Amino acid sequence: MYLTYHNGQWSEGNVPLYGAMDHSVWMGSSVFDGARAIRGRLPDLRPHLERVVRSAEKVGLVCPVPVDEMERLVREGVAKFPADAELYVRPLVFACEGFLLPVAEKAGFALTLFDAPMPAFNGFSACLSTLRRPDATMAPTDAKASALYANTSRAIREAQQRGFDQAIMLDSAGNVAEFASSNLFLVTADGKVVTPVDNGTFLMGITRARVIELLGKAGVQVEERTVKREELETAREIFSTGNYGKVTPCVKYEGRLLPIGPVARMARELYLGFVEAS
């Protein structure tokens, strides 16, 4: 079920938003964010809504709906679904007018909620992509910009053609950045929990930050540092964090099978506990 708020009303289905001359269609000037509603709980909703406003600014748009109003609309929309629904919450800001540059104040807004059950905690496979993440001098990497996802799609398509579910991407310097569509954590051969440091090549996820905080409070310190690709080959565990699956283990990297390890399990349990308390 899709439920979309646009132009002052809620509608079901895939609601038309664009015209053929809208800047967002032919120039890619749109941003979005992804939050979760899990059985009525809305973990970290406000940071996701605040980020879509910042993302819009990064690509030259003004979000026409303030955060307080977005939050009210999300709660209104969630109430239209069954109480046990697991939903994806996607605010979208898109340019309507402009030629080479979008007209900042002529941005549209749509909020879509749709059924998206939490994936089972049984893991996925991944390979190293031949594609790289751009750095901040090449693309709006500090925004959740729709235009960036063409590269994401290419990387995942390449991985699936090789028989894997996901891709791990390097940055322009050849260091590990993230999975194609989520942040990456690993447990090193000597037992340290590590995630790539913010170097401007990928978006620091809200779920990533929450998991680092929860693990820290549980006594597991996460190192944020440069991660070499060779470390993937000896890692005890590799797992992802992101809005869709929250914490998901990687159970195969290239030709090597990996366990669903204790750190990934702990991170998942801690996050679900945070959801229940939110």
Q: Where are the domains of the chain?
A: 2-115, 124-277
* R_g of the chain computed on alpha carbons: 19
Q: Which residue from 93, 39, 45 is spatially nearest to 72, judged by alpha carbons?
A: 45
Q: Which residue from 199, 191, 207 is spatially nearest to 242, judged by alpha carbons?
A: 207
Q: Which of the four CATH numbers 3.20.10.10, 3.40.50.1370, 1.10.10.10, 3.30.450.150 does domain 124-277 have?
A: 3.20.10.10
pLDDT in tens, 214-230: 999 999 999 999 999 99
Bridge-based pairing state of the strands 246-253 and 222-225: unpaired
pLDDT in tens, 112-168: 999 999 999 999 999 999 999 999 999 999 999 999 999 999 999 999 999 999 999
Percent of the chain with pLDDT over 70: 100
C-alpha 17/C-alpha 22 separation (Å) is: 10
Q: What is the pTM of this model?
A: 0.95
Q: What local confidence, expressed as pLDDT, does residue 278 receive?
A: 85
Tell me, yes or no, if the two domains 2-115 and 124-277 fold the same way: no
Q: What local confidence, expressed as pLDDT, does residue 149 receive?
A: 96
- What's domain 2-115's architecture? 2-Layer Sandwich (3.30)
Looking at this protein, which amino acid is placed at residue 267? A
